[in-house]
Amino acid sequence: MKLTRYNRFPASFRFFDDALTQAVHPSRPAVNILEKEDRFELEMVAPGRQKDLFKVDFFDGLLEVSYTTEKNGTEDQPTYLRHEFSLQDFTRKFKLNSEVIDDQAIEATYVDGILRLSLPKRENVQKPVRQITVA
C-alpha cells in the first residue's frame, strides 16, 4: 500500500486526506506522513504544547487530532511590545482506510515538540485481483 502524494484530484484518489481543513490556517501544524513496512507514521510539528491537552479520536474512518487550551476570561491579557507568535488551538482531520489501518492499535507520543502517531497496518491485507475483459 502506498500513499498518494498530495494533488488536486478528488479525495477518492487519496489515502490520507485533510479535506475538512484544506484552507490555509496559520495555526494549522505541518504534518509528515511516512510509510514503513508494518505501519504508517504521522509526525505533527506542535512545539510548546502540553501533551495533556492533545486529543486524538478515531471514529468511522476519520482520525481527528486537536489541541484546545482552557481559556479563562478572568485573566488579564499581557501587553506585548512585540507579538510574533501565539499558540493557537487547532484541529486536523485525516480520512483513513480502515481496511489497511488497525485502528485498535493506534498509538501517540509527544516528544520534543513533535506529536507522533503510529498507525499499524493490518496483517494479511491483500488487494483482490480484478480481471478486466478487453472489448
Task: Output the CA torsion sign for 98, 112, 85, 50.
Answer: positive
Q: What is the pLDDT of residue 73?
A: 65
Domains and CATH numbers, the chain: 16-71+78-120 (2.60.40.790)
64 three-class SS: strand
Task: For residues 19 and 16, give the distance between their C-alpha atoms in angstroms, rounded to a whole number.
Answer: 9
Digit-coded pLDDT (tens) for 1-51:
555 444 443 343 344 445 544 445 556 889 999 989 899 999 999 999 999
Task: For residues 63 and 122, give the distance between their C-alpha atoms in angstroms, rounded to a whole number.
Answer: 16
